[in-house]
Structure 1
Amino acid sequence: MSKISIIIKTLNEATNIARAVQSALAAIADYEGEVIVADSASTDETVAIARQFPTSVVVLESASQRRCGVGPQLGYQYCKGEYIYILDGDMELDAGFIRKAVDILDRQHDVAGVGGYIHEMRTDNLELKGRVKRFQRARRKDKLDVDCLNGGGLYRRVAISQIGYLSDRNLHAFEEYDLGARLRGAGWRLVLLEDKAVDHYSYVMGTWSLLWHRVLSGRFLSCGELFRAAMAGQYVGRLLREVRIVPLSIGVWVYWALAIVLAQSALPALTLLVALGIPVIAMAVRTKSLNLGLFSVITWHLSAGGFVVGVLRSRCSPNAVIASRLVHSVDRDAADTGRGPLYAGAGLESGIYPVWSKQPAAQR
């Protein structure tokens, strides 16, 4: 068994994948390990670039199965590591964090996973700015037990085996929370370090373009899908206490039901207009930004609509094998010594140099 498996989940990450793979290879340089690129049927050059490195590359058989929860579980089907790190294709992993996380897992056997600080490299939209603020509020000195490891973490394989699967393939989002809830329900701990784990190169999109992207990708179905997962995993009470957007989504329906009842008595148009304006004004005051207030309220309503659809969607078994193709594999020992077929020219034609090969002096 390898010490570490790093699963890189990708979908159309041609501009980022080389950086992610190189950082993952650097992070396992001191360990017996492997890097697995789990691709959700990309339509760009992601897979072609990933194949230039000493990695295994697996591709989702059907694009209709794309979910945020699919990538980690797809990689898990192929990995062999004692510890497993989940890395997004637009992230760059910090090798120093991996060393510290491994040390904690080696010494503290009740810890199932270790995460760290996600450094956002782009904060040019309201969603990312809000994410940074939320993480800053959650950070503490030294290590801290947390509900889940958002943005990735290093997990103990034995703990994952105990709860049955790594990631719920049915989820369009919140897959890290679902994993954390199941691990905690089985008695495991999750630890968040103050140390930086990754640099995150997120979408180059404005606020409203990103919101529309979320709609098209099905992300707003995730509240309902998570509620269904919580019913199956018997953690609904915990979910309602810990994931704010779920009770908010339910609350939106209750709010508008009350508003419609009140509108029946007098001045229905005015009553509904006031009902629409109250949450926007309240959030604008709270966030000190009209744009952020409006963005928040629109997000709540999209999540509320998606909640109903997500609850009603059919689920497949999270344990079911995900149909996929292994399109590339490598004997790492051969690659490290220059005996593997990848060594001779991997990446040279594109200017991408694997971390284990010698780069021309002009590129160093």
Structure 2
Amino acid sequence: MTVAVGIKALNEAAHIDAAIGSARAALDRVGGGLVVLADSGSSDETIKLAQAYPGTRIAQLADPAERSCGTGAQLAFQAASETPGVDYFYLLDGDMVLDSSFLEAGIAFLEANPRHAAVGGRVREVNTDSIEFELRARNDRVKGSAVAGDVDRLDCGGLYRVAAVQRVGHFADRNLHAFEEYELGARLRADGWRLARIDVPAVEHHGHATGGYQLMWRRLRTGYAGGPGEVIRAAWGRPHWSQVLRGFAQLRYSVIVYGWWLAMLVALAMGQGIALLAVVLLPVVFLTMRRRSLRVGIYSLVTWNVIAIGMLQGLMRARRPADAPVRARDLSAPGR
């Protein structure tokens, strides 16, 4: 066995059959491998459905209070790497379907490019009813997963060399509520590795059906919006700090928003109503022209403000040791 597919999930009963089935089909094309489900405390039928697949290892987070995107991803890698002989690891979300041919193409790429730590492929957003995923699909067509070549991260999953990840300490920082793929990419690149996307299908992503503004409010309320600040905290004083300082777009967005807030406060304090109105409208006009849509421009501005608020949330949040083992229960079916 050389390949493991880790699936991180929370209440994914509607999609987990398709996720596990697609992982098994892709592994069959490369001679077999291990499927690991890292469950963050599902209360639906996710575990029961996964137990119906012989050979699937199921690790469930022991303490739901530790739940985060980084914790789920690290638990998946931790459970997979406990099995000897795993050379490659693919991370899949529970609401994704892995293309049956990607592992074969990904392994061939990594075998031919020994300085690349990981490779991803094209991501197709299935649910674009929400403005959030509509924008993701649009960005993918312009500068995201549809563009082949070296990248700074592998959003929506990728195939990683286990040895490269072990060199940088851990797969995902368990403190991160978002941007765990970017943080891992920064650590790998600081260690001299490269990451790439290739022009082959990788996954179909179903995503949330929740409306964009409702989703943003949920992230603020639950603390997941603090991801950008947590990335900065994680990088401070570490070898990958320069990578984050130069390349983390959310840091630039936050600085711009803080300047905007300051300009509004100055105009308000000086009693300059016209100047205040101009300052308020300037980013709306700019983003509307850039996005070619008033609706999308306003949504982008709100997103930037949420990122700036989350930056402050994450910077003030306490951290646990990133490389400490994630406590979990083995819920694999008997006779696995």
Pairwise same-fold verdict (TM > 0.5): yes
Confirm or deny: 8 A CA contact 2:257 2:305 kept in the other structure: yes
CA–CA separation in structure 2 for the residues paired with 1:185 and 1:195: 27
CA–CA separation in structure 2 for the residues paired with 1:330 and 1:191: 39
Q: What secondary structure sits across from 1:113 in the alignment?
A: strand
CA RMSD, Structure 1 to Structure 2 (Å):
1.9
Q: What secondary structure sits across from 1:199 in the alignment?
A: strand
Moved more, 299-308 or 203-212: 203-212
1:18 and 2:17 matched = yes
The CA deviation at 1:142 is 8.8
Q: 1:86 to 1:330 in 2, by over 3 A?
A: farther
CA–CA separation in structure 1 for the residues paired with 2:32 and 2:20: 16
Q: Which residue of 1 aligns with 2:266?
A: 261
- For 1:1-16, what aligned pairs fall within 5 Å after superposition? 2-16=1-15
The CA deviation at 1:263 is 3.0
CA–CA separation in structure 1 for the residues paired with 2:329 and 2:265: 52
TM-score of the superposed pair, with normalisation by structure 1: 0.86
Size of the alignment, in residue pairs?
Answer: 330
Q: What secondary structure sits across from 1:69 in the alignment?
A: helix
CA–CA separation in structure 2 for the residues paired with 1:195 and 1:137: 16
Q: Which residue of 2 aligns with 1:126?
A: 131
The CA deviation at 1:165 is 0.3
Indicate which of 227, 236, 239 corresponds to 1:231: 236
Letter aligned with residue 16 of structure 2: I
CA–CA separation in structure 2 for the residues paired with 1:272 and 1:140: 39
The CA deviation at 1:111 is 1.4
Q: Which residue of 1 aligns with 2:219?
A: 214
Confirm or deny: 8 A CA contact 1:5 1:85 kept in the other structure: yes
Structure 1: where are the runs of 5+ without partners? 333-364
The CA deviation string for residues 304-329 of structure 1, in whole angstroms up to 9 with x for no partner, is 11111110111111100111101115
Letter aligned with residue 302 of structure 1: V
Confirm or deny: 8 A CA contact 2:52 2:333 kept in the other structure: no
Q: Which residue of 2 aligns with 1:339?
A: none
CA–CA separation in structure 2 for the residues paired with 1:44 and 1:273: 49
Confirm or deny: 8 A CA contact 2:127 2:207 kept in the other structure: yes
1:103 and 2:108 matched = yes
CA–CA separation in structure 1 for the residues paired with 2:217 and 2:148: 36
Letter aligned with residue 51 of structure 1: Q
Letter aligned with residue 210 of structure 1: L
The CA deviation at 1:242 is 1.9
1:53 and 2:53 matched = yes
Confirm or deny: 8 A CA contact 1:5 1:36 kept in the other structure: yes
Q: What secondary structure sits across from 1:28 in the alignment?
A: helix
CA–CA separation in structure 1 for the residues paired with 2:144 and 2:252: 24
Structure 2: where are the runs of 5+ without partners? none
Q: 1:185 to 1:329 in 2, by over 3 A?
A: farther
The CA deviation string for residues 1-31 of structure 1, in whole angstroms up to 9 with x for no partner, is x210100000111100010000001111142
Confirm or deny: 8 A CA contact 2:179 2:231 kept in the other structure: yes
Letter aligned with residue 220 of structure 2: V
Identity, % of aligned pairs? Answer: 37
Moved more, 157-166 or 225-234: 225-234
CA–CA separation in structure 2 for the residues paired with 1:93 and 1:237: 33
